[in-house]
Amino acid sequence: MSDTDETPRAGQALTGIRVLDLSRVLAGPWATQVLGDLGAEVIKIERPGAGDDTRGWGPPWLKDGEGRETGESAYFLAANRNKRSVSVDMAHPDGQALIRRLAQASDVVIENFKVGGLARYGLDHESLAALNPRLVYCSITGFGQDGPEAGRAGYDFMIQGMSGLMSVTGSPDAEPQKIGVALVDVLTGLNAAIAILAALQQRHGTGHGQRIDVALFDVAMASLANQALNYLVGGTSPRRLGNAHPNIVPYQAFETADGHLILAVGNDAQFARFCRLADFGDLAADPRFLTNAGRVAHRAELLPAVGAALKRQTTAEWLAMLDAAGIPAGPINTIAQAFAEPQALARGLALELPHVLGGIAPGVRSPLRLSDSPPGAPLAPPTLGQHTDEVLARILGVPQAERDRLRREGII
């Protein structure tokens, strides 16, 4: 969106909702990107001259139309499409006043400062709710607003370790591993977006907003899913199984004649069909392996036979046979190969967004497909302060002379 584009997008699910984004790095920006994809007007507040920390988290850097590096990091681009960037010095009283006025004109505020960090600026929930009782105020922290760890900073990597997620990730013979993406941050952003939508729906009936408390630690624990219940029901902490599944067999990566594939046998009928493909003979009728419970109990006896069978043919040959037999299986792609998959091409998952600095900003299409109010044509992530003048003039009516003063004094 250019500085002259003053009309928020229409016809989308969240058209008319304004989000004031005081967050940075990944979890908060991911939440507001989801809301922006759905049509909300997202105003991202950034520090003058510096901006979101992730703007400097490169290389790689976006290139302009001449092939020159712009200084816009790929990391920042990943979480900040469909937003307006407004540079405001939150530490200055005049900057705080501008943000309070924007909060009065907004439906949602999202922030990820330490507990109590915004109170000294008068930008905490109590201060802003007094000005705008309809405001939905979402706080994202490492450990939540209460409890003995509430004051601690929390980062995705350390939360993966503390939550137990790393204890079930990686080979049983190697050190615990983090996931290759900051997935706790991403999941926290998604949970925050869900909670915000629920609070907006609640507001329809009550007329009042509310406080939302989302913690990375809580999200990571909740996202352990079956592994959490394996412990709570079974009483024993799950262990690392590499690519194997704790509750389903065979459900893991296997070596083929020329590489690897993932075999994901989800039920007994699929296993019977696999036995026919693998020419297992008497093994197919072995009572130890007729049910999934039996296969889990006797995985050590079964898996060598499965592995030996898969090594007899290439990955492509096996994938063709397994697909024809209705047995879930797939390749282990690089990210480049994933974007080249026919399905990824057909669904248009790779985006090319015209950027204000020239050239094209790549992106990944939102996975949200709504039949009646789909996400519109996405907007490239903004440059730092790209929309400061437009937003302050359109929403707050700040005159040009006042904006010039604020700029001279480094407040915007």
Question: Which of 222, 212, 217, 228 shows the shortest CA–CA distance to 156?
Answer: 217
Which residues touch 100 (CB under 8 Å, ≥6 apart)? 122, 123, 127, 128, 131
- Amino acid letter for position 214: V
What is the dihedral sign for C-alpha 258, 263, 268, 273?
negative
8 Å CB contact between 303 and 295: no
Give the position of tokens 């029901």.
233
Does residue 404 have an active-site annotation? no
DSSP string, 150-191: TTS---HHHHHHHTTTGGGSS-TTS-----SS-HHHHHHHHH
Asked whether the CA dihedral 252, 253, 255, 257 is positive or negative, the reply is positive
| Partner residues linked to 361 by β-bridges | 353
Which of these is catalytic: 21, 185, 213, 218? 185
Place of tokens 């480049």: 336
Helix (H) / strand (E) element for 109: namely strand 108-111
Chain center to CA of 253: 25
How far, CA to CA in Å, does 342 sit from each of 96, 337, 345, 348? 50, 10, 5, 10
Residues identified as active-site = 185
